[in-house]
Amino acid sequence: MAVALRPTPHRKLGLRHDLIDQSPWLTDEFISIPPARRIAVSTPLSSTSVVTESLSFDFSLATRIVSGPGTINRLGELVSAYGGSRVLIVTDKGLSAAGHDRRAVESIEAAGHVAFIHDDVSPNPTTDDVERAVTAARNHEIDFLVGLGGGSSMDCAKGANFVLSNGGRMEDYWGVGKATKPMLPMIAIPTTAGTGSEAQSFALIANAQTHMKMACGDKKAAARVAILDPELTMTMPRSVAAVTAVDALSHALETFVTTKRNAASSLFSQQAWKLLTNGFPRIFQDEADLEARHQMLLGAHWAGAAIEQSMLGATHALANPLSAHFNTVHGVAIGIMLPHVIRFNGPVAGKLYGQLAEWAGLCDADHPTAVDQLATYVSELVAMAGLPGTLEAEGVERSLFPTLAKEAAQQWTGSFNPREVQPELMQELYESAWTE
């Protein structure tokens, strides 16, 4: 079956008035941008690729969630509850200026414990970052870990926990379930609303030599507690808020349509989507809107919990080579590719996308243009966040598309996409995202 979606004229966000109550933040004042270029994909669809939701699953929440403004002040009490006395706070230097690490230390000390700060974590943590955190932990003879910051700090803390508790090197834990001994208790405290790492048992750590990203997962690595304090996200620079918000939105969207989705992951994806689509425009209209920040933080967390069950899809498979070759920021690459992947997946995941479109207040779930409306809506949110909408604008070299496409098709995450991710289709998607 050939799929060719025709471009539509420029327009503002179209809303059904009977759905406006569900989305009070959506008004016609929002930007008008040209719709993203439509993709024409000529390869026949596999008859086995239609998405279904499995009612069979094995699920339990590994992480207690303590959510609310000011909850970082409960850190000391929670360290006590899980038997800690000497705590290493793994964080990055950028957070010191905001005073978040000081609040964490004060809470831990008020509970009668000792806290040490390790703030030497790179934005994309490598095995070297993990080694430095392990050395700090050993020097201070700690018995408890806190990951405070974005995904990098939390992943580095998780990564260090593998090596501290089970010995060896980070590389030994690449894959799933490689830790044989119990791991140290850990509390994760996100200061951005993006990765949802605090909801996951995976640490994403790059090999310092090969730069290959290793997903190291084990149920024992999950944080005992996630503290979701929206006050901590108020200090995010707007640029960080933009890329993390788009990333979180993509997690809700991609987890909802993967081949691994199940009745449990679907609950998380739905709730994440509703919170994120509500909070997204609000944080860019009013940076001091604490409720909207809370929606984003909790939405990103639920989306992270959905990933744990259902994995991600083609958008992440396409984004990873862009980051590897051009240092494209993850959220930027995601924002460019996501609308095109929605249209690409539309023929097999259209019903699910229709539900998301309805929950976002765009149209009825079974509206014939629901998929297109959803893709356009995502483009509009990306533009609202101030992020580029094309690969050309991001400075990607078009001549590298065949290489990027080959690499995208080999990404593990792509294997869960509802449509098969063959290299030629990935190249068509890059081409469609090249320019308006």
With the C-alpha atoms ordered 296, 301, 305, 310, is the resulting torsion angle positive or negative?
A: positive
Report the nearest approach of Fe ion to the CB of residue 319 (Å). Answer: 7
Neighbouring-strand partners of residue 190: 149
Segment interacting with Fe ion, rule: CB under 5 A, options 2-10, 29-37, 159-167, 244-252 = 244-252
Segment interacting with Fe ion, rule: CB under 5 A, options 13-21, 169-177, 197-205, 242-250 = 242-250
For 363, the token pair is 């149209």
Report the nearest approach of Fe ion to the CB of residue 246 (Å). Answer: 9
Segment interacting with Fe ion, rule: CB under 5 A, options 61-69, 143-151, 199-207, 245-253 = 245-253
Pick 71 or 153: Cβ nearer Fe ion: 153
Pick 160 or 204: Cβ nearer Fe ion: 204
Residue 247 is a binding residue for Fe ion (CB under 5 A): yes
Report the nearest approach of Fe ion to the CB of residue 333 (Å). Answer: 9
Q: Are 165 and 184 in contact (CB under 8 A)?
A: yes
Report the nearest approach of Fe ion to the CB of residue 256 (Å). Answer: 14
Measured at CB, which residue is nearest to Fe ion?
247
Q: Are 226 and 301 in contact (CB under 8 A)?
A: yes
Residues 6+ apart with CB under 8 A from 118: 88, 89, 90, 91, 132, 133, 136, 137
Report the nearest approach of Fe ion to the CB of residue 331 (Å). Answer: 7
Residue 155 is a binding residue for Fe ion (CB under 5 A): no
For 404, the token pair is 């990027």
Spatial distance between the Cα atoms of 233 and 242, rounded to a whole number of angstroms: 12
Spatial distance between the Cα atoms of 330 and 349, rounded to a whole number of angstroms: 24
Segment interacting with Fe ion, rule: CB under 5 A, options 44-52, 53-61, 239-247, 278-286 = 239-247
Q: How many CB atoms lie within 10 A of CB 137?
A: 24
> Can you give 78-139 as a three-state secondary structure string?
HHHHCCCCEEEEECCCHHHHHCHHHHHHHHHHHCCCEEEEECCCCCCCEHHHHHHHHHHHHH
Place of tokens 């050395």: 135
Pick 145 or 156: Cβ nearer Fe ion: 156
Report the nearest approach of Fe ion to the CB of residue 433 (Å). Answer: 17
Segment interacting with Fe ion, rule: CB under 5 A, options 53-61, 208-216, 241-249, 284-292 = 241-249
Pick 88 or 429: Cβ nearer Fe ion: 429
Pick 76 or 151: Cβ nearer Fe ion: 151
Report the nearest approach of Fe ion to the CB of residue 250 (Å). Answer: 6
Nearest to 150 by CA among 41, 237, 259, 260: 237
Pick 23 or 271: Cβ nearer Fe ion: 271
Pick 247 or 407: Cβ nearer Fe ion: 247
Footprint of Fe ion on this chain (CB under 5 A)?
A: 247
